[in-house]
């Protein structure tokens, strides 16, 4: 919230949004809806263009892998990151997300070109 004046510049022409949060902090869980509303819904971006990353700090207590988020956040792709235990899994999930964004951009561009031609 401190940097809200910068948000329009950050959002301009963006094709995807990755929201990283600490699932053990109730304040982060509350803020998720604000971030989603501002960076995804108001853009507007599709839900498939958003990735949620629940980041677990090293040695963090409590198992939050069964984290259940309320609507509309529960429609989004959610991955758990723990760089100590499984950095490769996080990398693979991020690459999958990144590829889906590139596919989306290419398809949008093709549709645009076809609409200009026809």
What is the predicted pLDDT for the residue at 51?
A: 96
CA 17 to chain centre: 4
Q: How far apart are CA 7 and CA 60, in angstroms?
A: 30
Q: Which residue has the higher pLDDT, 66 or 105?
A: 105
Give the tens place of pLDDT for each residue, 10-55. Answer: 888 899 999 999 998 888 888 999 999 999 998 889 999 999 999 9
Share of the chain above pLDDT 90, in %: 47
The predicted model scores a pTM of: 0.82
Ranges of each domain in the chain: 16-56+69-117
């Amino acid at each position: 919230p401190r940097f809200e004046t910068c948000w329009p510049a950050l959002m301009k022409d963006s094709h995807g949004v990755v929201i990283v949060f600490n699932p053990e902090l109730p304040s982060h869980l509350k803020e998720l809806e604000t971030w989603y509303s501002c960076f995804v819904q108001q853009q507007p971006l599709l839900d498939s263009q958003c990735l949620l990353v629940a980041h677990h700090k090293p040695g963090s207590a409590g198992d939050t892998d069964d984290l259940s988020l309320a609507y509309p956040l529960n429609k989004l792709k959610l991955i758990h990151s723990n760089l100590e235990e499984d950095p490769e899994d996080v990398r693979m999930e991020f690459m999958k997300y990144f590829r889906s964004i590139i596919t989306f951009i290419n398809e949008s561009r093709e549709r645009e070109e076809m609409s200009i031609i026809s």
